């Protein structure tokens, strides 16, 4: 092989370009870098002076322009883009699980639907956090975000309403347990699905 | 905000430039530096030579050009680019559509009166 152009400016230029092309698939990145390298070898004599190196690099254009072209037509890379963080949806699920447990306990111990809803208000602050975290969960679809954000209040109000209806229709009876448990299982299933999606 | 000349040029180049590269290769194989020199004399088609290389990589990935190494008298072996049959077909399609497109834009710029 014949000598390659070595000049601090050329080396710095190629290093910058390589860093900027970080998000490009390795084969393509190598091809772009080799093309630019070849271009430099072809247009600079070994031992070229600073002025001619600067002129050739100026004609190549800023490394950013080359990188922009390489990224053209695909999503711009960002450090967080490749691995969207999971802690928001996972934490939201954990808070929701606590909330559902609270609803279950208050359903068993409370004296009536209003007491269930009143004790559910104790969880208002954690729920606000779960709501915000759900909305920030980038690994979830918009529908999943909404489901996670509204799971707790929907279960709580549903439970209160169900109790009120059952008490009015049937009165206090063991039979009331069946729809209550069904509603709770439904909420739990939604939560399990959300958790699975969050951990995927 | 009114887009400047540079912005408009950048948009216009998209879709046209890659076919200009294919056109360079229609009758001969060329290496990167040759293509760059032919495309940048006035800076209209390409403002910086370096942007050619991602474009060539993309064309090769799309199967429109092929590369071969050839020895050169003056230095290291060079990567020569040639058109594949898909590349030829793509260039022919661009040639077919370009003239009506250019005419339509010219007509529109004159107020739509042919």
| Per-residue pLDDT tens over the stretch A165-197 | 888 888 777 777 788 888 889 999 988 988 888
Could you give all domains of chain B from N- to C-terminal order, each with its CATH number?
5-109 (1.10.10.10)
Helix (H) or strand (E) holding B79: strand B78-83
Best mutation site among B57, B58, B59, B80 for testing chain A: the one with the most A CBs within 10 Å?
A: B57
Contact A198, A137 (CB under 8 A): yes
* Straight-line distance from the first to the last Cα atom of chain B, in angstroms, rounded to the nearest whole number: 31
Give the whole-angstrom CA distance, residue A61 versus residue A52: 14
Give the whole-angstrom CA distance, residue B2 versus residue A87: 42
Answer with the residue of higher pLDDT: B44 or B17: B17
Nearest Cα neighbor of B33 from A21, A62, A135, A36 is: A36
Give the whole-angstrom CA distance, residue A156 versus residue A99: 9
Any idea what DSSP says for residue B49? G
The answer to whether B38 contacts chain A (CB < 8 Å) is no
For residue A2, what pLDDT is reported? Answer: 43
| Per-residue pLDDT tens over the stretch A58-112 | 999 999 999 988 987 565 554 444 566 788 888 888 988 998 888 888 888 777 7
Give the whole-angstrom CA distance, residue B3 versus residue A39: 32
Domain ranges of chain A: 8-71, 87-199
Any idea what DSSP says for residue B80? E
The answer to whether A44 contacts chain B (CB < 8 Å) is no
């Amino acid at each position: 092989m014949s000598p390659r152009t070595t000049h601090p400016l050329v080396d710095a230029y190629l290093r910058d370009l390589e860093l900027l092309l970080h998000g490009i698939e390795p084969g393509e990145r190598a091809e772009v870098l080799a093309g630019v390298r070849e271009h430099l070898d072809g247009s600079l004599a070994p031992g070229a002076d600073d002025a001619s190196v600067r002129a050739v690099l100026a004609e190549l254009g800023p490394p950013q322009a080359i990188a922009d072209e390489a990224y053209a037509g695909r999503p711009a890379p960002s450090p967080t883009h490749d691995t969207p963080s999971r802690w928001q949806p996972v934490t939201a699920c954990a808070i929701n699980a606590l909330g559902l447990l609270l609803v279950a306990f208050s359903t068993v111990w409370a004296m009536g639907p209003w007491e269930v809803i009143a004790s559910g208000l104790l969880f208002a602050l954690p729920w606000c956090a779960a709501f915000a975290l759900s909305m920030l969960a980038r690994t979830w679809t918009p529908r999943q975000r909404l489901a996670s954000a509204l799971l707790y209040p929907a279960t709580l109000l549903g439970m209160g309403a169900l109790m009120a209806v059952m008490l009015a229709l049937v009165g206090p009876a063991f039979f009331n347990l069946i729809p209550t448990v069904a509603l709770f299982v439904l909420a739990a299933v939604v939560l399990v699905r959300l958790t699975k999606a969050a951990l995927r | 905000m009114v887009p400047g000349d540079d912005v408009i040029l950048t948009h216009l180049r998209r879709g046209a430039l890659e076919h200009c590269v294919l056109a360079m290769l229609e009758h001969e194989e060329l290496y990167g530096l040759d293509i760059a020199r032919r495309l940048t004399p006035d800076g209209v088609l390409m403002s910086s030579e370096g942007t050619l290389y991602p474009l060539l990589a993309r064309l090769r990935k799309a199967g429109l050009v092929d590369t071969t190494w050839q020895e050169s008298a003056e230095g290291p072996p060079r990567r020569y680019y040639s058109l594949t049959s898909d590349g030829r077909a793509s260039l022919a399609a661009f040639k077919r559509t370009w003239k009506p497109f250019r005419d339509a834009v010219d007509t529109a710029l004159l107020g739509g009166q042919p």
